[in-house]
Amino acid sequence: METLQWTDALSVGLAEIDNDHKKLVEMLNALIVASRDGSERIRIGKILDELISYTSWHFRHEERLMQTYRFKGFMAHKNEHAGLIEQAASLQKAFHANQAEITLEVLEFLRNWLTHHILETDLELGTFLKPKLSGASH
């Protein structure tokens, strides 16, 4: 599987969110490379743990911004976050119990989820937040 390349097409127009997304892409790519190259299970597990931990932190960051600026799509966005975290935590638990592997399907799911979430859900949030965070008035 190919790694995900960051391009301007993935930008939501806000540096603080884009920087988080770049870090998520970097961490997902590390997981793809480690899995593809047959790294030790302990290393793959550590990358998976870091990816899930950072993703949880990033989601809380976005949710704080949504609440602060009263984003109307807050609950739907929060529910989308919760759904991924629930799936990721389940995978993480099964992986550490030697009941699951990081398969090509798992990596494709994570990559597709991340790109979909950025290109659709977060782009809408970025459009909403940009004038508020840049101090511009509309």
Query: What pLDDT digit, counting tens, does each position of 1-10 carry?
Result: 899 999 999 9
- Helix residue spans in 69-120 (DSSP H): 74-96, 104-116
Q: Strands, E, within 1-138: which ranges?
A: none
pTM of the model: 0.91
Mean pLDDT across the stretch 49-73? Answer: 97
Mean pLDDT across the stretch 13-27? Answer: 96
Residue 138: pLDDT band (50, 70, 90) is: very low
Which pLDDT tens digit goes with each residue over 75-124?
999 999 999 999 999 999 999 999 999 999 999 999 999 999 999 999 99
Task: Give the chain's domains with CATH numbers.
Answer: 12-133 (1.20.120.50)
On whether the CB atoms of residues 55 and 84 are closer than 8 A, the answer is yes
Question: DSSP code of 39?
Answer: -
- Paired tokens of 32: 């793809």
Torsions phi, psi of 18, nearest 5?
Answer: -60, -40
Give the pLDDT score at 134. Answer: 79
- Paired tokens of 36: 């593809």
Residue 137: pLDDT band (50, 70, 90) is: very low
